Amino acid sequence: MANRLPPLNPLRAFEATARHGSLTKAAGELNVTHGAISHQIKALEQSLGVKLFERAGQRVKLTPHGAELLPAVSTAFDGIAAATQRLTRPASSGALSVSCVPALLLLWMTPRLGSFTAQYPDIQLTLIPSNDARDVRAQHIDVCVHYGDGSWTDCWMRKWSGLELFPVVSPTLINNRPIRTVRDLADHVFLHGDDGREWHTWLAAAEALDLERGRRHHLGDARMATEAAVHGHGVALGDSVTASALLARGMLIAPFSLSVPAVDDFYVVCRNEMRAAPVVQVFIDWLFAEKAQADSRADAPVAGRFVTRRKRPALRVLGGKTGG
């Protein structure tokens, strides 16, 4: 059988009196009379069968029994106060740790941070560039925006976006070394963000698997491959989510009218117990709202951007002989 706890009001009177060392000050804090505080403490002493205070002139001091009880009572009241504050504070405040695919974080999410901060100025973000599946279980990470096949188990997840892949190149490079047909790619450095499977998929769709490819660099991830393309170091495979702003600003050009679906998709993933956290909810809602807004703005075609997917494409440069 569980031990019966002392009544709450006498404990409050005891804690306030011990903190102030005065019955009068405790009465003022709790907005009751001096006599009520004295009565509550006597009731607590009778309930426990020990003396908690000794008088020292106008003040009171704890007995050894009172000194032993005080830390536990103070900690309990502090815990109740903290929990109450957490329950009553706005949903849009607190700290949030997000693990995100590096390319998506750098090229899509970071440029939109101003929108999030304007809506939720009291949420402090920690952004981690990663696509490590272990992040989903990591206790220091609240939510993940990862690229994968949706096979995470025992967690909450929702598909955020599919994506299309297509070659991208800097305007300077394509003007110095034109790409008029898919065969012209043989004269360029292939920039890989993976082990080569994505380029293989695109070349297969372009019926160009027999293309002789010479120089190639493996950059480790899509972010680095895209950055290398921006700096004119070769041709990378961009995607319809992370490369969109670079295409719109003219920092990259998509020379062909062929795009292929990526093998995987972007998902929002988190531990089941984190899904109900208010800061997680508002962040996920913001992510999907921003994506919907970006999709609505993307209805207008961007010069030099992929326009359709073809099974038997007549690949050619878009927008003129140099793609500009």
Q: What digits encode the pLDDT tens for the residues 83-96?
A: 665 555 556 678 99
**Separation of alpha carbons 8 and 41, rounded Å:** 11
**Separation of alpha carbons 64 and 51, rounded Å:** 9
Two structure tokens written together for 7: 């009544």
Q: In this structure, are residues 145 and 98 in contact, taking their beta carbons and an 8 Å threshold?
A: yes
pLDDT at 39: 92
What pLDDT digit, counting tens, does each position of 269-305 carry?
A: 999 989 888 999 999 999 999 998 888 776 433 333 3
pLDDT at 299: 43
What pLDDT digit, counting tens, does each position of 47-61 carry?
A: 899 999 998 777 898
Same fold, 93-163+264-297 and 164-261: yes
Superfamily for the 93-163+264-297 domain: Periplasmic binding protein-like II (3.40.190.10)
Least confident of 144-148, 162-166, 212-216: 212-216
What is the mean pLDDT of the segment spanning 115-127?
A: 93
Half-sphere exposure in the Cβ direction for 130 (13 Å, CA): 15
pLDDT at 315: 46
Quickly name the fold that domain 8-88 has. Arc Repressor Mutant, subunit A (1.10.10)
Superfamily for the 164-261 domain: Periplasmic binding protein-like II (3.40.190.10)
Two structure tokens written together for 8: 């709450």
User: Which residues pair with residue 147 across a beta bridge?
Assistant: 266
* Residue that wins the pLDDT comparison between 3 and 285: 285
Most confident of 72-81, 104-113, 287-296, 305-314: 104-113
- Would the pLDDT of 5 be above 80? no
For residue 215, count other CB atoms closer than 10 A to its CB. Answer: 10
Two structure tokens written together for 290: 């921003």
- Would the pLDDT of 309 be above 50? no
Two structure tokens written together for 234: 């070769």
Q: Where are the alpha helices (DSSP H) in the chain?
A: 8-20, 23-30, 34-48, 64-88, 102-104, 113-119, 171-176, 197-205, 222-230, 244-248, 278-297
What pLDDT digit, counting tens, does each position of 209-243 carry?
A: 888 777 888 887 888 999 999 999 999 998 888 88
Cβ partners under 8 Å of residue 218, min gap 6: 192, 195, 196
Query: 69 in the Ramachandran plot: left (φ > 0), alpha (ψ -120 to 50) or beta?
Result: alpha
Mean pLDDT of the chain: 84
**Separation of alpha carbons 2 and 182, rounded Å:** 78
- Would the pLDDT of 3 be above 90? no
Please state the domain extents for the chain: 8-88, 93-163+264-297, 164-261
- Would the pLDDT of 320 be above 50? no
**Separation of alpha carbons 212 and 209, rounded Å:** 8
pLDDT at 298: 61
Q: Please state, for a pLDDT cut of 70, what percent of the chain lies above it.
A: 87
